[in-house]
Chains A and B, each alone.
Chain A
Amino acid sequence: MADFETVTVETDLLICGGGMAACGAAVEAAYWAKKHGLKVTVVDKAAMDRSGAVAMGLSAINQYVDLNSGNNTLKDYLDYVRNDLMGITREDLVGSIARHVDSTVHLFEKWGLPIWKDKEGNYVHEGRWQLMINGESYKVIVAEAAKNALAEADGEYFERVFITHPLIDGDKCVGAIGFSVRENKVYVFKAKATMVAMGGAVHVFKPRSTGEGFGRSWYPPFNSGASAFFTIYGGAEMTCQEVRFIPVRFKDAYGPVGAWFLLFKSIATNAEGGNYMQDNAAELDKWEPYGKVKPRPANIRNWLMMLDVMEGKAPIYMQTADAIKRIADEAPDEKAAKKKLKELEAEAWEDFLDMTISQAILWAATNVEPEKKPSEIMACDPYFIGSHSGASGAWVSGPEDLQTDETKNEYFWGYPHMTTVSGMFAAGDASGASSHKFSSGSHAEGRIAAKAAISYIVDNNISANVDQGMIDELTAEILKPLETFEAHSGETTDPDINPNYIRPTQFMYRLQKIMDEYAGGVSAQFKTSDKLLEKGMELLAFLKEDADKLAAKNLHELMRCWENVHRMYQADAHVRSIHFREETRWPGYYFRSDKPSMDNNNWLAFCNCKYDKDTGDWEMMKKPVKYISQ
């Protein structure tokens, strides 16, 4: 096999990932590191300008608490998130992010992000918490500030280096290991503290499109479970691994519906014109008290829609034409109406062009003029995205000053946003139970965690102790798929089909089929049960054994192998957590048909889990939900 060089990088703070949370972490860490003479290193599997979920851009900043206006309080935000997540939320973490997010947004503007303003100079809101932006270059701008900050503090960044595993010394994280996707190099990063910010997980479940459109998941296919694997394998306690997110979007291309629902006040109906939010309102009683709060929780909105779909009342339509007509009718005269329509048209298309260009192609290809006819919407597939309306991620410490006497012993252990593994911090999709942070809150959380990590390094300024034996073992394990391919591919006339190995694409299909059919994917209409889950676990165990036989033809495929191993651990944690929680709490995300209702007496609690990499055992734990606002 080709020779691999090992590159060793020693640093103080290592930031794994280059997305929104990582860029926030880089800016803040660089600021404090400069004052304390410390080094910050960022490592991303792609190019920071366009890596992660914001690669394409975004059309809105979804978290802006606007405390400065006096219209909202921190408690308002906590109420909103707690209710949306059906009571399961860490208010200390949500509050921690919410109290900083406004300064992050103000910095975005200083860095050149165009945020819409009205005539008085106030930000234009899409909804209560959302701001409209011209966000094509959102990620480019945020990455630029991060890189400039690193340059000012003598930090460095590596692109196209894929992180596979954490480096662990006893109960401490001492860095990470990975490989270059471009050259035959293994990278060993030795660090005094490590930040996990490698996004969420997509393609754990089978997507709806299985042809060319396979890659058109709503959340990007390059969010492949690295954060989950890193924290799970490192022995960190994980939380809310059952709380997946399934957004409702325009059908097939998954274009955003936010502007239509929030800005244009459009409604959605079933094929017969029935408004499922009204017609199925009786169902809301079952999910009290959350079923009755306004705005209705995202999963409950999904659920009322799915009830119609299951009754055969599809297609479900966004009534775009009605919404546009209503807005035009409100104009004082025809000229004003025309002008308004033109504005709306640009806004509607920009919403797609900024963050889901495929939807613009689909509308153009099916001759959709939204002012003339409605468009179909649909539930996408399940994603792991702790930064949005899901909640999966690592269990992290909250800040001390937001704890009550009740929460202090449960939710605080020293450094804000540090996992239960010493020196391992997490932010964005990587940290759990703090939903609704989105792009801006992920950046803010990266900043909070980075300052805490610098404080940790100053308190524990000892060189990372990295065992060479562990590096050698991990290096062999990481490169094994290349060796396997080289050793056996010549034995058959078709390198795809060979009894000695499995290539990463088929491995992924197998994972997706298990999850789809046993863990409540699209084809199971998001329904599962204890028995299905148990069977799914059996099949996952075979898959886990076969991971040892993954084969890669080149560095690109080697990355695909490890992405799928990462996804598999996310899948394992998910299945076990759904199985552990003996109720249905988020009916629009998944439904346990053997436990079809919510059980607040027993399950108003977090479902946490912990993996032991040496034995392969999982420990499942119930942790109390304690609010700080009431």
Chain B
Amino acid sequence: MPSYVIGDKCDGCKALDKTACQHICPNDLMVLNKETMKAFNQDPHMCWECYSCVKICPTQAIEVRGYADFIPLGASVTAMRSSEDIMWTLQFRSKEIKPKRFKFPIRRGVAEGKAQPFDHYPTGDDDLKSPTLMCEPEGLNTERGPVKMDQVPTL
């Protein structure tokens, strides 16, 4: 099955009423077995292999085994996501090929939870009928570009 749960690692999110994997799956696939208190993917053939559950699991209990109907066995792609970056490890089917590791940033300059939505630029007018959106026209420009727009452009 695409995303799968390692029984020994899953602690059912410590019996909280909302498990992390169930909370996040965009296709509503992860559920908790109330008897064993372990999570499982209830409909693997609807799984997008999006890794949202993998990235959020607090005990790293979820991994992905590529779709068996077209992906040969033996490879793995694992993710470790922190609040600033993500680390990927790729193992090939052939052990002759060196595993690859990549680390990519996931945010820049703004701490998690702190994205301030408004007021990055002044808003030109308060008229609900004008085409000026919040932070426009100034937000249409950058410091670098030579074209300075002082209103929302038309053709």
Which residues of A are interface residues toward B (Cβ below 8 A)? 27-28, 30-32, 35-36, 45-47, 49-52, 55-56, 66-70, 74-75, 78, 95-96, 99-100, 102-103, 106-107, 110-114, 120-122, 134, 136-137, 140-141, 144-146, 148-149, 152, 160, 181, 209-217, 220-222, 252-253, 345-346, 349-350, 353-354, 357-358, 360-362, 364-367, 369, 399, 401-402, 416, 447-448, 451, 454-455, 458, 556, 559, 628-629
Contacts of B139 in A (CB 8 A): 103, 106-107
Q: Specify the chain A residue showing the minimal Cβ separation from B142.
A: A68
The distance in angstroms between the C-alpha atoms of A47 and B147, with both chains bound, is: 39
- Contact string, B50-64, partner A, CB cutoff 8 A, digits 1/0? 111000000000001
The distance in angstroms between the C-alpha atoms of A21 and B113, with both chains bound, is: 20
Q: Give 4 A-B pairs besides A70-B145, A364-B91 with Cβ atoms closer than 8 angstroms.
A: A121-B144, A137-B106, A209-B67, A361-B49
Q: Specify the chain A residue showing the minimal Cβ separation from B94.
A: A367
Asked if B26 is at the interface of the complex by the 8 Å CB criterion, the answer is: yes
The distance in angstroms between the C-alpha atoms of A106 and B136, with both chains bound, is: 11
Contacts of A28 in B (CB 8 A): 133-134
Interface residues on B, range: 35 or more
Q: Specify the chain B residue showing the minimal Cβ separation from A36.
A: B128
7 A-B pairs with least C-beta separation: A211-B69, A68-B145, A112-B110, A213-B67, A365-B75, A364-B75, A149-B117
Which residues of B are interface residues toward A (Cβ below 8 A)? 1-2, 23-28, 31, 42, 44-52, 64, 66-77, 79, 81, 86, 88, 90-94, 97, 100, 102, 104-110, 112-118, 120-121, 123, 126, 128-129, 131, 133-136, 139-142, 144-149, 152-155
The distance in angstroms between the C-alpha atoms of A212 and B66, with both chains bound, is: 9
* A149-B117, A213-B70, A362-B71 known; A68 vs B24 contact (CB < 8 Å): no
Chain B min CB distance to A128 (Å)? 15
Assess whether A353 is in contact with B75, with CB atoms less than 8 Å apart: no
Contacts of B51 in A (CB 8 A): 56, 357
Assess whether A361 is in contact with B64, with CB atoms less than 8 Å apart: yes
A-B contact pairs, 25 of them (CB 8 A): A36-B128, A51-B26, A56-B52, A100-B131, A103-B136, A103-B139, A111-B116, A114-B108, A149-B117, A212-B67, A217-B48, A220-B48, A221-B46, A222-B48, A357-B51, A358-B66, A361-B75, A365-B71, A365-B73, A448-B131, A454-B128, A455-B128, A556-B31, A559-B28, A629-B155
* A28-B133, A74-B153, A113-B108 known; A215 vs B45 contact (CB < 8 Å): yes
